[in-house]
Amino acid sequence: TKWVLTFGDGRAEGRAELRELLGGKGANLAEMANLGLPVPPGFTVTTEVCTHYYANGRSYPTELQAQVDAGLDHIQAITGRVFGDAVNPLLVSVRSGSRASMPGMMDTILNLGLNDQTVAGLAEGSGNPRFAYDSYRRFIQMYSNVVLGVGHHSFEDILETAKEKKGVVEDTDLTADDLLALVASYKAKVLKETGEPFPQDPRDQLWGAIGAVFSSWMNARAITYRRLNDIPESWGTAVNVQAMVFGNMGDTSATGVAFTRNPSTGENRLYGEFLVNAQGEDVVAGIRTPQPITEASRIEGNVAAPSLEKRLPEVFTEFVRVSNVLEKHYRDMQDLEFTVERGKLWMLQARNGKRTAKAALKIAVDLASEGLITRDEAVARIDPPSLDQLLHPTIDPKAERKVIATGLPASPGAAQGELVFSSEDAEVAVAAGKKVILARTETSPEDIHGMHVSEGILTTRGGMTSHAAVVARGMGKPCVSGAGMLRIDEKSGTLTVTGRVFKAGDVVTIDGSTGQVLEGAVAMVQPELSGDFATLMRWADEVRRMGVRANAETPDDARAARRFGAEGIGLSRTEHMFFDESRIVSVREMILADDEAGRRKALGQLLPFQRADFVALFEIMKGLPVTIRLLDPPLHEFLPHTEKDMAEVSAAMGVDVEKLRARAAELSEFNPMLGFRGCRLAIAYPEIAEMQARAIFEAAIEAAKSTGAPVTPEVMVPLVMGRPDFDFVKARIDAVAKLVEEETGEKLVYQVGTMIELPRACLKADEIAETAEFFSFGTNDLTQTALGISRDDAATFLKHYTDKHLLPSDPFVTIDREGVGELVVLGVERGRAVRPKIKLGICGEHGGDPASIAFCEEIGLDYVSCSPYRVPIARLAAAQAAL
């Protein structure tokens, strides 16, 4: 087996398509080498070795050692350096890289191959002893941390002490001799902490590092990240071993990161940061404030030293060329890592850049307009749930802003909450129902869980490409980074700015679009749905086959649904309309009535209210289809339950409290979900359905007149078991329609259909379709009844099923294709067999879930219906499913 693939010098054994085998980093290093771009030579140990490692008690395939040696030979041949050689030593980096990018999750080791002999060779050969000892002390620290488990702070304390003693601030102020002394202290520290001297044999170092990368696949950070991002454990990581290039060789050396377009706004401009005379992660770690790559991308407030464009113009020109090559080649915005060694540019990483939803839209629309991708590709590239970020509020431009501090606009959108200063506190506060803003000096991978539960993130150090910024953008959370005027004292739980002190629990607002930190809870506004959003949604609508409707009952919901592009209402739940204070009295009178006459009288009082509700909906929807479901919940939900409420209601209604209590007891159920609800109400008390039908039909006539658009209401009967119960209710509805036609002299056009939400209804769908004109699959109840799981009680045990991989996902979030899905397919087939043109839709939570929407497309439903805020997501997901 080939366990190792090499790259470098204009060619590679791998390529971008081998991502599964080589990991993202390795595949793209190979691709860049194939493109003739400047990539330091190296080799990739494949993910199959990782799989083998874990399948065989953490051991390697036997051929691996020889293949790694051959890989080293390859690097040596290209660089002309020799691993472990005292005069001309080859140094390498050992880098992890899995299939999906896992930023900051796995640890990279730089400068491997240094020891007491080779460091002298490096000093001599480079003519720069300072650089050589700087590299050595960095290596000891990284290696000891990652492989030997000696904490970073051990070394940082030593470094700080050395700087204090010398009276300097920057690492760069330390001389070669200082660093040599530091190396000695570091080695002593390692001996003390581990009981062993720091390993001097480069081959031991290499195998130690490779082993550490593979073990880090199972470290807590990596496991958390995989869980949060649905990355399977089985993928494994690859290891990249690559010749070192040095950004810390002096003033014409540098290290940096860049995006080919702005990852926050999507603006088509090279965007990035770098540090002169620095190595590796220095930029990201927020050790010094980085400098911008271009003059134009200088962020307001970043007055640090000049841009790469000014400082190293030739390198800049070359970098622009390389960025363009890569963007055209990958046809997407690239996230690049590079190093400049004495004026020569080296590329160390390229990948499709993470971006905010706003930037994703702009980049996709721009790339399509530039002709790099097609419109369909643009549609396919947007992650539907990410649109959610754009549908939520930003700070009201008219609101007064009491600015506490300004940092960098690292991830857009506004968020507010109580200040917390650690991830642990964030989790505790959120568990107690609070909303929090996590304020940290700088975040690290250990903070992922805290960031996840926070509304937004605020840091006092680090740039636009710092850990906090990158992770927040990925999570779609607002973030302000590098607000340097703020002082955070985690121990005392305070945030100080020019003499003012904010404590944990104080409310602040952050504006990730401007970088402002504001006092209190500032007013927010709804977003604009124009520009790139509208363009991309238009392209999506052009390829979409299924209709998208909304579940809406209030005028506000209906208006939001229209704004978000809903093509009708797929589910209007009438019970919500009954809870209104002005009506609940009549509802209760109806429930307490002793006979039909009493019920009809109370229902008569409800009629004008219901009619007005429907008129409002029909008018807003202007002729678009509106599906109205007859009353569904058990009646006892409308009765008071506590003694206190009963006393109040009985006084207000003038009914005997005993009677109230007796009726409540009579209606109470052991299992309301399977109780006296749905069409069972209409079967027991047909007058309820009759009143609702009358309200619907009278409203249809009225709204048709006021809007000039004909209204075709769809009356939906819930929870039918078969044709007989459906027909019973339908007969009442049709009778009312006839009556209304006679009374008004108007002709009504309407449909009566049913919600298919019981397994029996799926089985009897052929018979039901003989008289039902449409089906809407109510997959919430269908999931409950098919799986025998009460959704409200599922929390305690369902998690065990998903954790133990007994169910692929929560069946209430994504439709259970194999079970519930199969029932839906039966219903579709049997219904269509009898009534080929029957209108088929889905309502409930699944209608807004992209994976479930894909299923609906596959089985050929006519439309999905979901909550108004999910309508854009559903439109996009339906388009992607149709592509």
Q: Indicate which single residue of 244, 276, 737, 765 sits in contact with ligand ADP (rule: CB under 6 A).
A: 244
Touching Mg ion, residues 163-192 (CB under 5 A): none
For position 307 contacting Mg ion by CB under 5 A, the verdict is: no
757 belongs to an annotated ligand binding site? yes
Question: Per the annotation, does 778 bind a ligand?
Answer: yes
* Cβ count within 10 A of residue 432: 8
3-class secondary structure, 325: helix
Three-state SS at 864: strand
Residue 349 touches Mg ion, criterion: CB under 5 A = yes
What is the rounded distance in angstroms from the CA atom of residue 197 to the CA atom of residue 523? 60
Q: What is the 3-state secondary structure (H, E, C) of 570-587?
A: EEEECHHHHCCHHHHHHH
- 171 assigned binding-site residue: no
**CA distances from residue 707 to 569, 618, 702, 822 in whole angstroms, order as listed:** 17, 9, 9, 42
Of 128 and 240, the one with the shorter C-beta distance to Mg ion is: 240
Under the binding rule (CB under 6 A), the answer on residue 108 touching ligand ADP is yes
Q: Is 13 annotated as a binding residue?
A: no
Pick 348 or 590: Cβ nearer ligand ADP? 348
Q: Residue 221 or 599: which CB sits closer to ligand ADP?
A: 221
> Judged by CB under 6 A, does residue 337 bind ligand ADP?
yes
- Residue 582 burial (CB count, 10 A): 7
HEC-encoded secondary structure of 721-776: CCHHHHHHHHHHHHHHHHHHHHHHCCCCCCEEEEEECCHHHHHCHHHHHHHCCEEE
The distance of closest approach from Cβ of residue 105 to ligand ADP in the complex, given in angstroms and rounded to an integer, is 8
> How buried is 56 (Cβ within 10 angstroms: 0-12 exposed, 13-18 middle, 19+ buried)?
exposed
User: Within positions 257 to 316, which residues make up the interface with ligand ADP, using CB under 6 A?
Assistant: 280-281
Asked if 334 is part of the footprint of Mg ion (rule: CB under 5 A), the reply reads no
Query: Which amino acid appears at position 810 of this protein?
Result: D
DSSP 548: E
Residue 242 near which of ligand ADP, Mg ion, none (CB within 5-8 Å, type-dependent): ligand ADP
Does the footprint of Mg ion cover residue 240 (CB under 5 A)?
no
Kindly name the residue from 50, 762, 843, 866 that is annotated as catalytic.
843
Residue matched to tokens 């194999």: 818
Site pattern 11..50 for ligand ADP (x: CB under 6 A): -----------------------------x----------
- Out of 467, 679, 762, 866, the active site residue is 467
Q: Is 211 annotated as a binding residue?
A: no
Site for ligand ADP in 65-94 (CB under 6 A): 93
> How far is residue 315's CA from residue 191's CA, in Å, rounded to a whole number?
42
Q: Which residue has the tokens 């075709």?
A: 712
> Cα separation of 455 and 436, whole Å?
6
Q: How far is the CB of 40 from ligand ADP (least distance, A)?
A: 5
With the CA atoms of 641, 644, 647 and 653 taken in that order, what torsion angle do they form, in degrees rounded to the nearest 10?
-60
843 is catalytic: yes
Q: In the window 73-112, what residues touch Mg ion (CB under 5 A)?
A: 104
The partner in contact with residue 315, picked from Mg ion, ligand ADP, none with C-beta cut-offs of 5 to 8 angstroms by kind, is: none
Cα–Cα distance measured from residue 493 to residue 68, given in angstroms and rounded to the nearest whole number: 50
Candidate list 349, 423, 443, 460; residue touching ligand ADP; CB under 6 A = 349
What residue number has its CB nearest to Mg ion?
349
Piece of the chain touching Mg ion by CB under 5 A; list 212-220, 348-356, 843-851, 865-873? 348-356
Q: Binding residue per annotation — 134?
A: no
- Residue 110 near ligand ADP by CB under 6 A: yes
Q: Which residues of 373-389 are buried (b: 16+ CB within 10 A; e: fewer)?
A: bebbebbbbbebbbbeb
Residue 456 in 3-state DSSP? strand
| CA 70 vs CA 45, 84, 220: distances in Å | 12, 15, 33
Residue 406 interacts with ligand ADP (CB under 6 A): yes or no:
no
What torsion do the CA atoms of 33, 39, 40, 41 make, to the nearest 10 degrees? 0
221/636 with CB nearer ligand ADP: 221
Complex with ligand ADP: residue 243 or 823, whichever CB lies closer: 243
244 contact, one of ligand ADP, Mg ion, none, CB 5-8 Å limit per kind: ligand ADP
762 noted as active-site residue: no
Q: In the complex with ligand ADP, which residue's Cβ is closer, 339 or 692?
A: 339
Is the four-CA dihedral 352, 358, 359, 363 of positive or negative sign? Answer: positive
Q: Which residue stretch of 303-311, 333-341, 516-524, 807-815 sits at the interface with Mg ion (rule: CB under 5 A)? A: 333-341
Query: Interface with ligand ADP includes 334 (CB under 6 A)?
Result: no
Residues with Cβ within 8 Å of 499's Cβ and at least 6 positions away in sequence, in order, are: none
Give contact residues for Mg ion (rule: CB under 5 A).
104, 337, 349
**Which stretches of the chain bind ligand ADP, using CB under 6 A?**
40, 93, 95, 104, 108, 110, 242-245, 255, 280-281, 337, 339, 348-349
Binding-site annotation: residue ranges for Mg(2+): 757, 781
What is the set of active-site residues? 467, 843
